[in-house]
Structure 1
């Protein structure tokens, strides 16, 4: 049995896109977090839902844009590896997404990161999150 808080069923995490949830960090700030599929065990990873380059949300309510195992920043098109969070191209080159510790047990995804408390599925309840102005279309 995993020592953590249940987030979702692994089946809820789409093959392309993301599963969005909100957690509270150790400073009581609400943070959006995305679950994305990954080829490495346990088959899914969790990342803070924003590009470190210009604080742009990846998932704006309809799933993060993804292609070939990479998360696409909607602002400049930088690509982040869904398994490592690393970016080696575009405006965000050299940055890595902040990770959130999770575990998968018997098809259920659990939040195991001591720095976060699960609040609810879906986006933050307010509009104070990172911006999402984009000039890219997918």
Structure 2
């Protein structure tokens, strides 16, 4: 089994609605990773996605507010596209027909572990304190 790094608990992700950590990818870049609850019997109870919308590279998880999760979907704060929390697929809005980039995790005894061989854990939370995402231009209110 590949090396794993303990991240947080499934319970914490469910209680908070989303959870963020930063890892170094295979290119040596800091990459934010979003953990979200997945509430289907066919999938693990938590999924991990790179914290960027596929449309305009906007952060989905924002410091101080987390990710907006509605009816099992992660909402892009810029245009309102909704990505299925379990599959990462978006079938609406500006990001339609795209899928978030997944990150490999394991879940064991209620604990979430980073197991992606191309990622190395760096820290809990955002890569830096500078949120470069613009304010929402969506018609949706958060």
TM over 0.5: yes
**Counterpart contact for 2:2–2:117, Cα < 8 Å:** no
In structure 2, the residue corresponding to 1:64 is in which secondary structure?
Answer: strand
Task: After TM superposition, give the deviation of residue 17 of structure 1 in Å.
Answer: 2.9
Task: After TM superposition, give the deviation of residue 102 of structure 1 in Å.
Answer: 0.3
In structure 2, the residue corresponding to 1:14 is in which secondary structure?
Answer: helix
TM-score (norm 2): 0.88
Q: Quote the residue 1:76 is aligned against.
A: 79
Q: Quote the residue 2:12 is aligned against.
A: 12
Q: Distance in 2 between matches of 1:9 and 1:17?
A: 12
In structure 2, the residue corresponding to 1:57 is in which secondary structure?
Answer: coil
Q: Name the Cα RMSD after superposition.
A: 1.8
Question: Which sections of structure 2, spanning at least 5 residues, go unmatched?
Answer: none
Q: Quote the residue 2:117 is aligned against.
A: 114
In structure 1, the residue corresponding to 2:94 is in which secondary structure?
Answer: helix
Q: 2:57 aligns with which of 55, 58, 61?
A: 55
Q: Distance in 1 between matches of 2:132 and 2:117?
A: 23
In structure 1, the residue corresponding to 2:66 is in which secondary structure?
Answer: coil
Task: After TM superposition, give the deviation of residue 12 of structure 1 in Å.
Answer: 1.4
Q: Distance in 1 between matches of 2:134 and 2:7?
A: 25
Matches within 5 A, 1:25-64: 25-40=25-40, 41-61=43-63, 62-64=65-67
Task: After TM superposition, give the deviation of residue 37 of structure 1 in Å.
Answer: 0.3
Q: Quote the residue 2:104 is aligned against.
A: 101
TM-score (norm 1): 0.91
Task: After TM superposition, give the deviation of residue 15 of structure 1 in Å.
Answer: 4.9
Task: After TM superposition, give the deviation of residue 11 of structure 1 in Å.
Answer: 1.6
